[in-house]
Amino acid sequence: MTHTLQRRAFLAATAAALPVLTLSTTQARAFAPTDHSDFENNMDKAGDALKAMRSPMRDLDNDDARHEAAMLANTVTIALAQCVKFAHQAPIPVRSESKYDGDTDRFATDLRIKLTEAVSAANALSRQLLMGNTEEAQNLYASLRQARKEGHDEFEEED
């Protein structure tokens, strides 16, 4: 294993161990907290990392891009896993009020189920990227983006 690959493996392990930091092969980013809830802050981190994945996902034949995308997928995994913990902080969107009729526990449970699906997809994406399975990685990336869209359609408050 080359020094570069060893360094990247170390960074991947560090990213999983330190959810406060977002690490990639090209830079380390610390996301500044906002005045939002813990749920919103972690959703912002996941969204930022997913958005940052667009570019490296277009160049998966490049080892650096593939590893950068894997580190960003790890960040998505960690941030969404934190969202599962804080799902009770998410408000019931107006469009879902009739469905939940004020039952915040049921809403939080449904949200956690959807978030857990996304955590699994992001984790699988990182694994496939690290293994070099670009076709499977592309499929998982598309499914993760679709899960994001569906989750926002059902669970995100309109601005």
User: What is residue 158's predicted lDDT score, i.e. its pLDDT?
Assistant: 63
Amino acid 155: pLDDT? 84
Q: Is there a domain that residue 141 lies in?
A: yes
Closest of 159, 78, 158, 150 to residue 111, by C-alpha:
150
* 32 lies in some domain: no
**Contact predicate 46/80, CB 8 Å:** yes
Count of domains in the chain? 1
Instruction: Concatenate the DSSP letters of all residues of 25-36 into one string.
Output: SS-EEEPPP-SS
User: What is the mean pLDDT for each group of 10 consecutive residues in the chain (159 residues)?
Assistant: 60 49 39 68 95 95 96 97 95 91 95 94 96 95 89 75
Domain encompassing residue 94? 38-149
Look up residue 135 and give its two tokens. 């076709």
Residue 24 tokens read as 């990639």
- Percent of the chain surpassing pLDDT 90: 65
* Confidence (pLDDT) at 31: 43
Q: What is the CATH number of the domain that holds 55?
A: 1.20.120
Strand locations in the chain, DSSP E?
21-23, 28-30
**What per-residue confidence (pLDDT) applies to 21?**
39
- Report if residue 157 sits inside a domain: no
